[in-house]
Chains A and B, each alone.
Chain A
Amino acid sequence: MATAQTRMAARFMMAPSVIALLIWMIVPLSMTIWFSFQWYTAFRAPEFTGFDNYAYFFANPNIWTVFLNTLILVGGVLAITLVGGTLLALLLDQPIFGQGLVRLLVIAPFFVMPTVSALVWKNMLMHPVNGLFAWIAKVLGFSPVDWFAQVPLFSVIIIVAWQWLPFATLILLTALQSLDEEQREAAGMDGAGPIALFFYIILPHMSRALTVVMLIQTIFLLSVFAEIFVTTNGGPGVATTNLPFLIYLQAQFQYDFGLASAGGIVAVILANIVAIFLLRVVGKNLEA
């Protein structure tokens, strides 16, 4: 089908996108790699130091806390959104009155910009004195929780999970609705109860969507930034500092460009490990 002429035209049409992304990928990334081997701060000219920046990056006494925070943040949000999203999708798949409106309400948080949702949660809901949660706690006879002082990382997890719950719900619901009705009925006729139906028919059917949700969210969750920036600024101490936030501080406040670059490369490697799995899932779909 494709003649030499159309092939040339196709190449010409693809060129702008390919070149733009190629530049975007190669130029800054190779600069980061280059800087990561330089002793380079705002106050001195760059000088080659080998792997010193990497050694320095990992010698940070807080580095493992930061890695752990990053992992807990990703893991916590994933756990909440995957379980919550599955339950919500199952609920929304039931015949209910006003289904469209319910859907709109449930997906709304996804469209709220991170800085707004973080500030609304931090102030109006989680404030230890005037927040709504504090009032509820008092009404129920508990002492109010000072969220960002007592459980700072958990508080960030709740906010981020609230933002991503709609995404998981919407995708799982889409997958659920593509389930063959006859298969469901056949299982019902064979005497499968709702629990068996869920574990033997519904869950296997949704496994692909669950994998996709998990991988895509992980990519985004590895770089959570704005929510931390406006609520805790990484604190108290380093209690809510994740990898992106640490690198941001090293670059913008310690002016240690070499160190921040080394951290950036570590973050790239971490994200790539996840990306390989995601690309495999998406790639399989492309062949089908």
Chain B
Amino acid sequence: MARAVSTRRKLAFTALAWIVALVVFFPILWAFLTSFKTEGTAIAAPPKFLFFEWTLENYRTVLERSNYFRFLGNSIITAVGSTLLGLVVAIPAAWAMAFSPTRRTKDVLMWMLSTKMLPAVGVLVPITMLFRMMGLTDTHLGLVLVLTLINLPIIVWMLFTYFKEIPVDILEAARMDGASLRQEVIYVLTPMAIPGIASTLLLNIILAWNESFWTIVLTTTQATPLPAFIAAYSSPEGLFWAKLSAASMMAIAPILIMGWFSQKQLVRGLTFGAVK
């Protein structure tokens, strides 16, 4: 990175980059600002950017009128639940494939990836039918199961690429020092595996949180998470943008913050290790 650059050039690029970044970010910023306006101010022409009377009224209304905390709770239960379940199932598999690979390991990995490419509509009819038969429609359990299954290939892959980077030589060193297999796993491997597991956890919660197709199709009232809750705002044509904005902000804020922390892992996770 030791490129000699003139300050003027750096300033020019800085200005350009900031303008572009603000344009890209603008819809989120605009919804953020609108969430603090009254409904009247929200549709005012010319639009008010910063100088209006800021109010928390919309947040209060959304919290009072709709059961926001239940939707939030549903989102947390399904996103975290499916991620944890996925990790429990995937960690041993990724561990085995990374540390004692066989000739077939690669085929298994590729096959797992191929299941991720099955389009949801390809199994829409049987899944809704099976859910109805088993009483899983509109339940946390049902949604957790589907979210776990659609994201399992990504979890296994991400963990596999992290585990593979743990140097195996270090095990031999530990063994020479007289460590038992149990000690090896607890004191040597686990500490080295934890960052990878944490990254996988973070990225997967984001993916599960934002999953919209199955949450819309498989829930009606009880287990509805946030994407489906927000979708309900699309039906009436009324102009209640301030409330929509407030609800939107409450739906995306937690995950936006998590996303900002996990941006590095995003590349690896979503390209299945093909770009690092």
B21 interfacial by beta-carbon distance below 8 Å:
yes
Q: Are the CB atoms of A264 and B252 closer together than 8 Å?
A: no
Q: Are the CB atoms of B18 and A98 closer together than 8 Å?
A: yes
A90-105 with Cβ < 8 A to chain B = 91-92, 94-99, 102-105
Q: Are the CB atoms of B24 and A285 closer together than 8 Å?
A: no
Q: Are the CB atoms of B121 and A267 closer together than 8 Å?
A: yes
Q: How many whole Å from A116's CB to the nearest CB in chain B?
A: 4
| List of B residues within 8 angstroms of A6 by Cβ | 100
Q: Are the CB atoms of B28 and A135 closer together than 8 Å?
A: no
Q: Are the CB atoms of B18 and A102 closer together than 8 Å?
A: yes
| List of A residues within 8 angstroms of B233 by Cβ | 119, 230
B134 interfacial by beta-carbon distance below 8 Å:
no
A201 to B12, CA, bound (A): 24
| List of A residues within 8 angstroms of B13 by Cβ | 91, 94-96
Q: Are the CB atoms of A21 and B115 closer together than 8 Å?
A: yes
A124 to B48, CA, bound (A): 13
| List of B residues within 8 angstroms of A9 by Cβ | 96, 100
B234 interfacial by beta-carbon distance below 8 Å:
yes
Name the contact of A10 in the complex, choosing from B14, B102, B110, B241 (C-beta under 8 A): B102
A24 to B114, CA, bound (A): 12
Using known A-B contacts A18-B108, A119-B233, A120-B31, determine if residue A27 contacts B126 with beta carbons closer than 8 Å. Answer: yes
Q: Are the CB atoms of A116 and B251 closer together than 8 Å?
A: yes
| List of A residues within 8 angstroms of B27 by Cβ | 109, 117, 120-121, 124-125, 162
Q: Are the CB atoms of B92 and A13 closer together than 8 Å?
A: yes
Stretch at the interface among B58-66, B192-200, B256-264: B256-264
A45 interfacial by beta-carbon distance below 8 Å:
no
Interface centre among B106, B126, B256, B272 (most CB of A within 10 A): B126
Name the contact of B93 in the complex, choosing from A16, A92, A225 (C-beta under 8 A): A16
Count: A-B pairs, CB below 8 Å:
320
Q: How many whole Å from A150's CB to the nearest CB in chain B?
A: 18
Using known A-B contacts A109-B28, A124-B31, A271-B117, determine if residue A170 contacts B267 with beta carbons closer than 8 Å. Answer: yes
B176 interfacial by beta-carbon distance below 8 Å:
no
A37 interfacial by beta-carbon distance below 8 Å:
no
A251 to B108, CA, bound (A): 33
A59 to B92, CA, bound (A): 49
Q: Are the CB atoms of B256 and A108 closer together than 8 Å?
A: yes
A242-288 with Cβ < 8 A to chain B = 243-244, 247-248, 251-252, 257, 260-261, 263-265, 267-268, 270-272, 274-275, 278-279, 281-283, 285-287
A181 to B21, CA, bound (A): 26
A171 to B108, CA, bound (A): 26
Using known A-B contacts A21-B153, A115-B230, A174-B276, determine if residue A264 contacts B123 with beta carbons closer than 8 Å. Answer: yes
Name the contact of B14 in the complex, choosing from A1, A31, A96 (C-beta under 8 A): A96
Output the nearest chain A residue to B1 by Cβ-Cβ distance. A181
Q: How many whole Å from B139's CB to the nearest CB in chain A?
A: 18
Q: Are the CB atoms of A116 and B252 closer together than 8 Å?
A: yes
- Interface flags, B117-144, vs A, CB<8A=1, else 0: 1111111111111100000000000000
| List of B residues within 8 angstroms of A104 by Cβ | 260, 263
Q: Are the CB atoms of A113 and B251 closer together than 8 Å?
A: yes
Using known A-B contacts A17-B90, A106-B21, A107-B263, determine if residue A31 contacts B120 with beta carbons closer than 8 Å. Answer: no
Q: Are the CB atoms of A20 and B89 closer together than 8 Å?
A: yes
- Interface flags, B200-232, vs A, CB<8A=1, else 0: 000000100110110011000000001110110
A257 to B129, CA, bound (A): 10
B46 interfacial by beta-carbon distance below 8 Å:
yes
Name the contact of A209 in the complex, choosing from B43, B258, B275 (C-beta under 8 A): B275
Name the contact of B100 in the complex, choosing from A2, A111, A174, A212 (C-beta under 8 A): A2
B51 interfacial by beta-carbon distance below 8 Å:
no
| List of A residues within 8 angstroms of B46 by Cβ | 135, 139
Q: Are the CB atoms of B230 and A29 closer together than 8 Å?
A: no
Told that A219-B117, A229-B212 touch, could you supply 10 new A-B pairs with CB distance under 8 A? A20-B148, A31-B130, A32-B123, A91-B16, A113-B212, A115-B212, A116-B248, A229-B234, A264-B125, A278-B117
Q: Can you list 28 A-B contacts (CB < 8 A)?
A: A16-B93, A17-B92, A17-B156, A18-B93, A21-B112, A27-B126, A31-B123, A35-B125, A94-B10, A94-B13, A97-B14, A105-B24, A108-B28, A109-B25, A112-B256, A116-B248, A123-B244, A135-B46, A171-B271, A171-B275, A219-B116, A229-B216, A230-B231, A230-B233, A244-B121, A271-B118, A278-B117, A283-B110
Which positions in B face A, CB cutoff 8 Å? 1-3, 5, 10-11, 13-14, 16-18, 20-22, 24-25, 27-28, 30-31, 34, 42-43, 45-47, 89-90, 92-93, 95-97, 100, 102, 106, 108-130, 148-149, 152-153, 156, 206, 209-210, 212-213, 216-217, 226-228, 230-231, 233-234, 239, 241, 244-245, 248, 251-252, 255-256, 258-260, 263, 266-267, 270-276
